[in-house]
Amino acid sequence: MIKAMGSDSTKTKILQSAHQVFIRKGMDGARMQEIADEAGINKALLHYYFHSKDQLFNEVFYGILSQMIPGLVALFSGEKPFLEKVEAIVTEYDSYLSRNPILPQFIFREINRDPEQLSKFMSDQGLDFDRIQERIDNEVAQGHLRPITFQHLFANLIGMIVIPYIGRPLFQLKLFKGDAEKYDQFLRERRVVISNFIRQALTKD
């Protein structure tokens, strides 16, 4: 029993260390040696718990995603009009990214590596867009929203949210002369900026 606890704690430690290293270096840049060092063990033990680097990455990546998706599902599937949900969605998404700023890069990598697996995982977790699509089409048909398809609205929303995280190193240089604090402030501002932008684009007032 004590041994089991010990092994379980080692596995947990590995996952935490891997998370940190993947954040610093990305999947390709991460080295099993560095993960082992960070966990205070050696490579062999790493492979004892996780057969391959791919498996380790998958468990870390989908572990993070598992924590994130339920909140989004709840927001997307709520009954409120879309515009009233936008701010909540932006805030939820954005606050999660601020705590996991590497996530867009992880997702981006997985999108290109194995999109089917990622798509299936999202569906398994209940994250699909059929119902939200119907809802938005309805709101447009009733004149509550200016004409736009769900797909375009979704792309606009996601693009505006994630681009400052994906492009941070360059944006911080070109738009804020490298000032990290100003960039953090910029990121915080975007929650309300994006909500306003979308509301203004979709309503005539």
- Find which of its own copies, DNA, none residue 72 binds, CB within 5 to 8 Å per kind: none
**Token pair belonging to 108:** 């981006």
54 binds DNA (CB under 7 A): yes
Q: Which does 138 bind (CB under 5 to 8 A by kind): its own copies, DNA, none?
A: none
Are the C-beta atoms of 166 and 108 separated by less than 8 Å? yes
Interacting residue with its own copies among 119, 131, 134, 141 (CB under 8 A):
119
Q: Distances from the Cα of 94 to the Cαs of 68, 113, 136, 172, 185, in angstroms? A: 11, 24, 22, 18, 13
Furthest-apart CA pair in the chain: how many Å?
A: 66
Determine if 48 is a binding residue for DNA (CB under 7 A): yes
Q: Which of 23, 32, 148, 160 binds DNA (CB under 7 A)?
A: 32
Per-residue contact track with DNA, 102 to 121, x per CB under 7 A?
--------------------
Q: Measure Cα distances from 34 to 5, 7, 20 in Å.
A: 24, 20, 10
- How many CB atoms lie under 10 A from the CB of residue 94? 19
Query: What length is written for the chain?
Result: 205
Output the smallest distance, CB 111 to DNA, in A.
21
Q: How far is the CB of 11 from its own copies (least distance, A)?
A: 28
What is the footprint of its own copies within residues 148-177 (CB under 8 A)?
148, 150-152, 154-156, 158-164, 166-176
Q: Is 122 a binder of its own copies (CB under 8 A)?
A: yes
Contact between 148 and DNA per CB under 7 A: no
- Token digits for 146? 């200016």
70 binds its own copies (CB under 8 A): no
Q: What share of the chain is helix, strand, coil (3-state, %, to 5)?
A: 80, 0, 20
54 binds its own copies (CB under 8 A): no
Name every residue whose Cβ is closer than 8 Å to that of residue 59 and which is 6 or more positions away in sequence. Answer: 15, 50
Binding stretches for DNA (CB under 7 A): 3-4, 6-7, 10, 30-33, 40-45, 47-48, 51-54
